Structure 1
Amino acid sequence: MADNRYANIADRDAKRVSEEKLKLSFVYIDWDSEEFFFHGLESQYYQKFFWCMSELQSATERQIAQQTHPSLRPKSIFNSDTSIKNAFPVSVIERVKQQLFVETRDEAAAADQAKEITARAFEVSLSKNYGRVHGFLWNNTFHIVWVDPAHNLFPMGRKITKHQDAAVVRCFSPEECHRLQEIIRQLQIENEELLEAFANQ
């Protein structure tokens, strides 16, 4: 009977936590991956981004974990061969592990737990054309890791019209690489012509 009572209390507590509004965290954000960025975008992008943050704070963990939130359209990530990555960066997992180690003092257990926690990874949508935000759920908090305005985590198999600036903000984008290669080619031609002109003087 006592076991039943404690199980009921635990179930009630778990249900209460899953229905609480989410907190947001940028503690584990990754600024080092070239594919994910937050600067140089048009103003409407930032409006969409902060709307998304507000929606996340009104959402529950259950809505994200069960992928039922109507406007954020959450989706589990790292379970598809169409994504360019299959986990968050080692540096992020290591920071989660360090946080857990402070609490547990068991390095192996902390490492295992950190992998499990960061594997509870989801993306939420700003809109079809304004990309996604990727993060993980832990302690009723959505920890944002990647801001993905150009849909770079899942680049293939989708017909998406990117907003004007997203594809050319950073050098990783194919369009930007081609543009820079063309500039280099033109400069090389001009350089050769100038050298030839100086040689003939």
Structure 2
Amino acid sequence: MSSKKNKKRQDTDIRSQASSPRREVVNIQIPEGISFSFRYYQDDKEKFSIGGRDARYLASLLRRLRDLSQLKAEEVINNQSKSLRCHGILWQDTTEPNGFCIPNEDELVNIPYQFQISANEYGRVHGFFSENVFYVVWLDPDHNLYS
């Protein structure tokens, strides 16, 4: 019987906590910069697979995404750094002449882009911008987009 009383007491405590006043919402200014989305990420193509990569690859990728998130899209696109090498993709010059093959690609992708993860060591990231969001479509650790 005492266990039922304890359960009732716990239920009452939980309900009273849930109805307690909420904290005041504070508006935090989010710094401008690129956000990354993996909404269109494709990992089903062998040539763009990161399977079998070690932790150093993932750490380098995450560091690159973190660093780029400090910049605006225009800054990345116009960056002349040899370590970044961000530029548009011309599909006719690649091993994938049909593009990303994502639904509604013609409406979604204005210009496909690629950038390096690090100076030739970990390959490239392929995707596209929509305003300040870069949609990652392929990770290309072995530089397979170009023959």
The answer on whether the counterparts of 1:119 and 1:136 sit within 8 Å (CA) in structure 2 is: yes
- Which residue number in structure 1 is paired with residue 66 of structure 2? 54
Match of 1:125 among 98, 116, 137: 116
1:144 aligns with 2:127: no
Contact 2:91–2:98 (8 Å) recurs in 1 = no
- Cα deviation for residue 133 of structure 1 reads 0.6
Identity %: 29
Match of 1:24 among 21, 36, 47: 36
Q: What is the match of residue 126 of structure 2?
A: 134
Change (3 A) 1:23 1:134: same
Residues 57, 116 of structure 1: alpha-carbon distance in 2 compared, 3 angstrom cutoff: same
Structure 1 residue 48 displacement after superposition: 1.1
Q: Alpha carbon RMSD of aligned pairs, Å?
A: 1.9
- Give the deviation of 1:115 after TM superposition: 1.0
Displacement after TM superposition at 1:86 (Å) = 2.8
**2: distance between equivalents of 1:129 and 1:87?**
27
Q: Give TM-score scaled by structure 1 length.
A: 0.51
Distance of aligned partners of 1:119 and 1:33 in 2 relative to their CA distance in 1, 3 Å threshold: farther
Secondary structure at the aligned position of 1:35 is classed as helix
Counterpart code for 1:120: I
Q: CA deviation at 1:79?
A: 5.0
Check the 8 A contact 1:74/1:122 in 2, yes or no.
yes
Unpaired stretches in structure 2, ≥5 consecutive residues: 1-31
**Gap runs ≥5 in structure 1:** 1-19, 98-113, 156-201
Pair 64,86 (structure 1): closer, same or farther in 2 beyond 3 Å: farther
* Contact kept? 1:24, 1:143, Cα under 8 Å: yes
1:30 positional shift: 1.0
Q: Structure 1 or 2: larger helix share?
A: 1
